[in-house]
Amino acid sequence: MYLVISSYQILLKEIVSEFRTRYALNALIMFVVVTISMVLFSIGTESPSQDILSGTLWIVIFFSAMSGLSRTFVAEEERGTSLTLRLLTSASSVYFGKLFYNLVLILALSMFIAGSYLFIIKEFIVKSYDIFWLTIFLGSVGLASASTILAAIIAKANTKGTLFPVLAFPILLPLLLTAINATRLATEGAFFVEALQEFQILISFIIVMITASIMLFDYVWKD
Amino acid sequence: MTTLKLEAHTVAKIYNRKSIFQNVSLAVKEGMSFAITGKNGSGKSTLIKILCGVLSPSKGTIALSINGVLINYPDYYPYIGLVSPYLNMYEEFSAEENLIFIKRIRGLNSDTDERIKFLLNDFGIYEHRRKEVRNYSSGMKQRLKYCAALVHQPPILVLDEPTSNLDEYGIETVRKAMKLQKNHGALIFGTNDKDDLRFADQIFSLDKLEIGN
């Protein structure tokens, strides 16, 4: 019960703090607007395949996540509040609080990106919306689960900004490839059962990442 | 009064293959005021963080027992209040919001609201409780750190440079809190200030690795 209460308090603190400081939010929104505009301009009058458009959607989601999700731990280190947090609650509470915050942030971001992408890129046509939105949801959860532990690791490093996408890319590659494939199936109008294998991979990825993170986080958090 | 004992056995800390200190052994019991001294860079703040369970020792062990129950290291956070220059409050929140966040995350009951009010008053920042901490002076921030460390009435109060950044009123309030803490549990502080050292029952020198009175 204590774990739930303290994790919830950290989540709440992160949300209020983000709305007051706009540490990640403004940069993220600008990033999304710029990247979707660039995709739109580069397409021009061409008609790229659904494979390519599915790939570019996840490129936008991946890099937006990379620019925002690391902030949760980096901000604590930069502001010198990580010691305060260590003195207030257990490592598990901090991990789950930050994980849920990243989850809220990436889910909102992915929904916004996917909605804007569907609206702006007319060539991107989704035929199976159930597969599409479930892929966006599971892909976002996967991104949050991997990014949270990576953010905790890189927050201790000197080169925080550049290290995050470099470290995250090999870990997130299986997730991204599977998500791109599932998105392609959604554009082809596949039946839900045809995408089950992709969903199984995404769910397995999430379970493995969260389990490994719970085991690792104590060591990362306490130096 | 709580029966408590905090012990360090042959503790060492190594950073980047460089030894900060080695073979530190000490024991702090309830009702005791224990000072840690040492020249700059001797590792006073590092030892304090290790004793609080926020930094792991490279060698040796730390043991905290409360009423005969051994507390699992490093989960000492419910029993320790720390004031340190390395500790910052959330600047985008007001003093009151910071303390309410601490109350909630620690799972403290509603009686704590009265204690928060008392502490803010005692440390002279009650009138500024609704101002964002980013607008505070360094002395006011130091006072707020004391309020944060004392909200849960910790059996062990740990102070790193207790009177730094404080004016006369602040120093007086801190010294009152130090005296009170001795009756309530134990006090550990790291300093080289001779006036502060008068409050110590035992003084541990990190330079000589020995305990004096």
Query: Which secondary-structure segment (H or E) carries B115?
Result: helix B112-122
- Annotated domain spans of chain A: 2-221
| Inter-chain contacts counted by CB atoms under 8 A, chains A and B | 66
Residue A159: pLDDT band with limits 50, 70, 90: low
Mean pLDDT of A67-81: 85
Q: Residue A207: which of A138, A158, A114, A155 has the closest Cα?
A: A138
Mean pLDDT of A110-131: 92
User: A223 vs B55: CB contact, 8 Å cut-off?
Assistant: yes
**A44 or A61, which is more confident:** A61
Statement: residue A195 has pLDDT above 90: yes
The beta-carbon neighbor of B105 closest among A10, A17, A83 is A10
> What's the pLDDT at B17?
84
Rounded CA gap, B97 and B99, in Å?
5
> What's the pLDDT at B60?
93
Mean pLDDT of A191-198: 94
Query: Looking at this protein, which amino acid is placed at residue A95?
Result: Y
Q: Which residue of B has its CA nearest to A219?
A: B56
Query: pLDDT exceeding 70 applies to what percent of chain A?
Result: 98
Q: Which residue of A has its CA nearest to B13?
A: A223
Q: Collect the ranges in chain B with pLDDT lower than 70.
A: 1-2, 212-213
Q: Does A38 touch chain B (CB under 8 A)?
A: no
- Annotated domain spans of chain B: 1-77+158-164+182-213, 80-153
Question: Taking CB atoms and an 8 Å cutoff, what residues of chain A touch B159?
Answer: none
Candidate from A76-80, A83-87, B118-122 with smallest mean pLDDT: A76-80
Helix-then-strand count for chain B, H and E: 6, 10
B1-77+158-164+182-213: CATH class = alpha beta
User: A90 vs B77: CB contact, 8 Å cut-off?
Assistant: yes
Q: Does B148 touch chain A (CB under 8 A)?
A: yes
Rounded CA gap, B117 and B100, in Å?
11
ipTM score for this prediction = 0.86
User: Among all chains, which residue has been given the structure tokens 């404080």?
Assistant: B166
Q: Does A81 touch chain B (CB under 8 A)?
A: yes
Mean pLDDT of A198-211: 96
**A44 or A102, which is more confident:** A102
Mean pLDDT of A118-145: 94
Is the Cβ–Cβ distance between B4 and B158 less than 8 Å? no
Statement: residue A77 has pLDDT above 70: yes
